[in-house]
Amino acid sequence: MVRNEWLSVIQLDHEAAVSRLNSALGLQGDSLLDPVVPPHTYVGNIEDMVPGECILLLGINPKRNYDDNFQRVNIELPLRCLAEYRQTGDMKSLDDWLSFQNEYFLREERNRRYFNKYGKWLGKHWFEDTVKKYEHLDSNQMVCHEHLIEVDTVQYFSHKTGLDSEKLADLIETDSALQANMKMIEAIISKIKPKWIQVTGKSGWVIIERLFGHGEFIETNPGETRGTEIKWVMQRLGKPLLPS
């Protein structure tokens, strides 16, 4: 269900797409999307995720780091897989890349600081059985592995996020690379049927409300502090992620 949409994202000329988007969005400095890094598509155990027992985490775009781990798993690994796939046309050429994504929350390279807060919060409020099941391990990590899929509105990396949400919302409706990414996200949603979509950052909500929502959004906060707000809508999402 997701393979064809995933292939449509990774097979794009990402250097040309990044150049086009940097210009259209007026990005500069650390906010520039990096043409060297292949696209980020998703991380999480998508093949074994239980429909309805998971959350989709939607970010704006992935962070470009410069350490050896980043170079190895986000640049060297996907570029090697892509080169072999383009030469052979064999899907098995992409297995290492897919394994990295699917097993991301079990790997040492995972972003512990960023994702553990989601694992802790989700486990405490919605997945207590998973926390108990893995109480002698890193339960935050295992909550993410069993219940979280992460995607981004823009699949290209930058060191800092400086995307104008209104410009980005406009581009999502017209740019071929962003549309391919959104179609992949739609396919993931259809496959995993998340309890809800957790949106990070205020700019993410501009995208959701302008393009995807139908009806009035209401904000609530089930957590104890700011940063765990949820917006929900009385009506079901009435619009597809992309215009038909």
Residue 86 within any structural domain of the chain: yes
User: Worst-scoring range by mean pLDDT, 43-52, 59-68, 128-137, 228-237?
Assistant: 228-237
Run of H or E including 197: strand 197-199
Residue 127 within any structural domain of the chain: yes
Q: What six digits make up the tokens of 101?
A: 């994504």
Cα separation values, 27 from 18, 22, 33, 214, Å: 11, 5, 8, 30
219 confidence band (pLDDT: 50, 70, 90): low
Which of the two residues, 225 and 11, has the higher pLDDT score? 11
Closest CA to 125 of 228, 203, 243: 228
Query: What is the average pLDDT across 107-133?
Result: 93
Cα separation values, 152 from 60, 75, 93, 123, 216, Å: 5, 17, 24, 22, 24
Look over the chain and give the mean of its residue pLDDT values, rounded to a whole number: 88
Dihedral (CA of 48, 53, 56, 57) sign? negative
What is the Cα–Cα distance from 78 to 61, expressed in whole angstroms? 18
Q: What is the count of structural domains for the chain?
A: 1
Which of the two residues, 103 and 201, has the higher pLDDT score? 103
Query: What is the average pLDDT across 144-160?
Result: 97
Dihedral (CA of 149, 232, 39, 187) sign? positive
Closest CA to 94 of 191, 189, 182, 4: 4
221 confidence band (pLDDT: 50, 70, 90): low
Asked whether residue 117 carries a pLDDT value surpassing 50, the answer given is yes
Residue-level pLDDT at 204: 72
Q: Which residue has the tokens 């959350």?
A: 55
Asked whether residue 142 carries a pLDDT value surpassing 90, the answer given is yes
**How many CB atoms lie under 10 A from the CB of residue 240?**
12
Residue-level pLDDT at 135: 86
Residue 240 within any structural domain of the chain: no
Query: What is the average pLDDT across 30-57?
Result: 96
Asked whether residue 146 carries a pLDDT value surpassing 50, the answer given is yes
Residue-level pLDDT at 218: 62
Q: 3-class DSSP state for residue 233?
A: strand
Residue 98 within any structural domain of the chain: yes
Residue 122 within any structural domain of the chain: yes
Residue 238 within any structural domain of the chain: no
Asked whether residue 238 carries a pLDDT value surpassing 50, the answer given is no
237 confidence band (pLDDT: 50, 70, 90): very low
Which of the two residues, 213 and 28, has the higher pLDDT score? 28
Q: Kindly report, residue by residue over 185-217, the tens digit of the pLDDT.
A: 999 999 999 998 888 876 677 777 776 666 666
Give strand pairing partners of 155: none
Asked whether residue 242 carries a pLDDT value surpassing 50, the answer given is no
Query: What is the average pLDDT across 149-163?
Result: 95
Q: Find the domain containing 69 and state its range.
A: 3-233
Residue 66 within any structural domain of the chain: yes
Q: Kindly report, residue by residue over 47-100, the tens digit of the pLDDT.
A: 999 999 999 999 999 999 999 999 999 999 999 999 999 999 999 999 999 999
Residue 224 within any structural domain of the chain: yes
Q: Phi, psi at residue 227, to the nearest 5°? A: 110, -5
